[in-house]
Every structure is written in structure tokens, then in C-alpha cells.
A and B are shown apart, each in its own frame.
Chain A
């Protein structure tokens, strides 16, 4: 499939708010075969044994106010891309230029300390993300109201339920006055009503002219918020087009994979039946242990696409 560069918004006149050029990030599969001396004194170009590119030569520009959905199966580089945009991963090659602050809704509960009260935590985390005292004071009540946490302000953060923790965290981070918003499936926690509230808040922010980056498997959410889609496969950006087209392609690929899997499964079944018919005594015997384990592994691998192509699943099923 060729890389398509259809500009969902072709306002080439304005300077892009994000420009990613040849972005590549490399990860290690294993921790072995590395020495600290290597890391310090040798150039790190090229993929050595046990390494792979989580992102490879990803290039795109984002204009101010665009809402972009990042699509791809698990482990294809979506989150890595978001982390690179957030500046919490450094590229091994290429450049990421982000003009303007980023409100990362990634690991949003990260700055919170269990031993301190909710009140202290709100003030501290807001400050940590760059708000000054007046700003914090100005939006403190909004945050509390949004998180519906009035009665727990003086309770230690660790006494909150995990859903409430995410509420507080989302309330704080979504209050940041940053022009770019990165959302990485953080909303998988929390009850339905609160999730809807979060989406409404995000919608508000988009209407406000923020630039949105959303990673999700949920086609409905992607269609609702995003106009442009980036399709990631094996670390490469294989498609950059209006969201509907990208989703279509993604579904087609997933269906294809599912079809392939179904064929494999039925073929294996046939083989097995044939084997039983040929010689029923060999099936299930211990000396056949290795091959049956292999088959089981293959089954597991083949099962994976099912979860992904089930795109209309609700978060409740997670």
C-alpha cells in the first residue's frame, strides 16, 4: 500500500504546529548483548541483533487545530509515536518539532502522590505541568467540580478508588492551557457517565482550537473527534488520509487477517481430523508434546486479530 499524503487540511501557508521528519525509534527485544561502554562511546546507528524499529521514518505535519486519530494494531508504534510527540522519548533518528506546549493525557496519574491529600495533589500536579499559583487557584474549583470529588478533598489520594484517581487526574490535565492535546486511551478507566463527560471536555477543547492526537481502537470515538487518520503498521506510517478512509483500510486489513486466520484454523482442524483418521493411536501421546505445543502457540497468535478488529467494542469490555 503506498503512503498517501492527502492533506485533510491543506493550509500549507501556516506553519505546522507539529512537524515530524523521518522519526525513528529503536527498541531492544532483549537486554543482553549490550555493554554500557558501547552505549557511551559507539554511535548508535543501525539496528543490531535483538533490536527493532518501533518507529521507522515517520514523516508528517500537523496544522493548528487538526484532530488526528492514530490507528493500528497493538504494538505497531502508536503509543511510541505519542511519547515521542510528548517529548518523553527521544528519537534515535529524525526530528520531532512541536511548537507550543503539550498536555499529555498519558499516564495522567503519574504526578500524584498517595500519601498527600487530594487537595495537595491537585495543586502540585497542576504546578508540575507548568501552572502558576494564580492559575491553579483560578481553576481549582472547576477541577474539583469536574472530578466530582468535593467530599474527598482532604483524604489521602491513595484512599481513592482507581476510577476516582483517574477522574482527578483527568480533571487537572485537561485544564492545562496547552495548545496540543495527546490522548492515549486513558479513558479506558472510569464509568460510562464520566467517560462521556471526558469526551465532552475534549470536544470543548477541540472547538477551542486545540490540536488533538488520539490513539484509540474505538471507531466511533475516532470518527466523532478526528478528521484525519494516521495508520501505523510495524512502526511505519502506511497511510495518512481522512479518517473514514483510514478506518476503511484498517477494517479491510483486519478482516483479511481474520479471514486468513479462519482459513488456517480450519485447515489445521482438517489436518488433525485426517491424522486421527489415519492413525488414532498417535494423537495425544507424550512424544507428540512439542508439536502440539507449537500448534497451540500458533493458535494463540492467530487469535490476536480478533480483539482488534472488533472495533466497535465498548471500553466496558476491556
Chain B
């Protein structure tokens, strides 16, 4: 077998992004079916079902609320703090659960990956979307607190879909990037867990960016989740709105998405053999 025999004739990782996107679009119904299946499993598998979607962030928020209003009464964000907190924690939960699970997506659905020739991107999209649905279904927690505190929304609440769209692009990019890598390099799973924990404190989930010393504030501008959390909250706390930062988040997310898709396309072949 000389090297000349090995000239690749046709490789599907050289399919254009448009062809790949079309392939995904063709199976959108199946993708939706998978999302519904995920939600069914989440809510059929446990006795309390939907209650967990609400209870989980509620319990977490009550801990943070206690620490930051009772133990350290200096205040960390906008008032009422609990609303500021819940708005951030819910979005962050979507981020962290989606990154965690989409990274493992190819391995987790390996039986399906190995028995159907659906475009492999959908295993990542499935996770991001079903986690997104869970996010939407947890929003009543926020609404409940706003009713309790008589806090009303402002015009920026209309940017909620925009924030979700940017986060969706960002999460899909991260998932596409990590899913094949994690198949090839198992250790990444641990690294991701650590990075997410770091990310939690490096993002303005518990506190507001303007409490951070000015010299460090650029971190939150560069961090797309920092900008997104501000955008999510701007519908309730109007002074947090900053269109420039939204632009940065959108650009960053698009870049991550492009990188993720490129890596996914390149590693797909190898990853398929390893799962």
C-alpha cells in the first residue's frame, strides 16, 4: 500500500455548511420528536416531575439569597435581590446543564448514533433545545417572585427571545465543539465540570457587574454569558441594558458556533469510530 493509493476520493466532512444545515433542516420533525422524548423522560421518570424544574432553582436561590442578604448584608445586585438572583440562576442553569450534557451527547445517544444515519448535529441540538424548554418552563418561578414583590417589567422584556437566541447559538457552538472532543479525550469531562464551576463565579450570576472593580469589568464584557445575563435582567432592571455588550455577545457566540461546527465536521468521522 503506497502513499499514492491513499488519495481521498470523497469525504463527507468536506460537505459545505449549507448542505449540512439543509440536512439538519430536513429532519427537524425528528429533532422535535427527540426533544419531546427528552422532556417526557425528564417528567415521566420521577414522581415529582415538573416540581423539580421549579424546586431546584428555588432551593439554590434561597441559599444564595440567605448568604448575600443575611450573612453579607452589603447587597450584591439590584433590588429586590431575589428577583435579580432568580433571573440569573435560571439562565445560568440552562447554560451549565446544556454544556454538561451536550458535551456527552454523542456518547449518551451512541446506540441511536450507531443505528440511524441522521445528521449527527441533531444529537447536540436535541440537548440544547430540551434544556432550553426546561428553562422556559422554569420561568414561572421568576414570575411568581415578581408578583410577590410587585415588580413590573419594562420594554426591554421584548429582548428575552433575542437573549435566548444568542444563548442558543452559543450553546450549540460549545456542544458541537465539545461533543466529538470528549469522545476522543475522555479527561475533558472533568475539565468541563471545573470550568463550569469557575464560570459560575466569573459570570455575574450572584452579583451585578457594576459591583466589580472597574479594572476587572472587561472580563464580563468579553464573557458572553456575562453580557447575556445582563440582557436577561434588563427586562426587569432597565438600567442594565447595554446594546454594545449585546453585540459583543452575539459576535462571540457566532464565532464559537462557527468554530464548533468546523471542529465537529472535522472530528465526526473519527468520533463515530470511537463511540
Contacts and interface: CB of A to CB of B under 8 A. Distances in A.
Contact of A129 (B12, B13, B34, B116): B116
A45 interface: yes
Contact of B267 (A39, A91, A115, A132): A39
Interface string B150-189: 0000000000000000000000000000000100110000
A93 B41 CA distance: 40
B3 interface: yes
A110 B44 contact: no
Contact of B41 (A44, A102, A116, A132): A116
Interface in B1-43: 1, 3, 5-13, 29-30, 33-34, 37, 40-41
A93 B9 contact: yes
B37 A86 contact: no
A interface, size bucket: 35 or more
B9 A27 contact: no
Interface stretch (B69-77, B107-115, B197-205, B208-216): B107-115
Nearest to B45: A115
A116 B115 CA distance: 20
A163 interface: no
Contact of A86 (B12, B112, B117, B181): B117
B273 interface: yes
Interface in B183-241: 184-185
B266 A115 contact: no
A95 B13 contact: no
B272 interface: yes
B interface, size bucket: 35 or more
Choose among A86, A94, A107 the residue with the greatest number of B CB atoms under 10 Å from its CB.
A107
Contacts of A56: 1
Given A45-B6, A90-B11, A36 B185 contact: yes
17 contacts: A22-B9, A34-B184, A39-B184, A40-B267, A43-B8, A45-B7, A46-B3, A47-B1, A83-B114, A87-B117, A88-B114, A88-B116, A108-B115, A110-B112, A111-B115, A115-B44, A128-B112
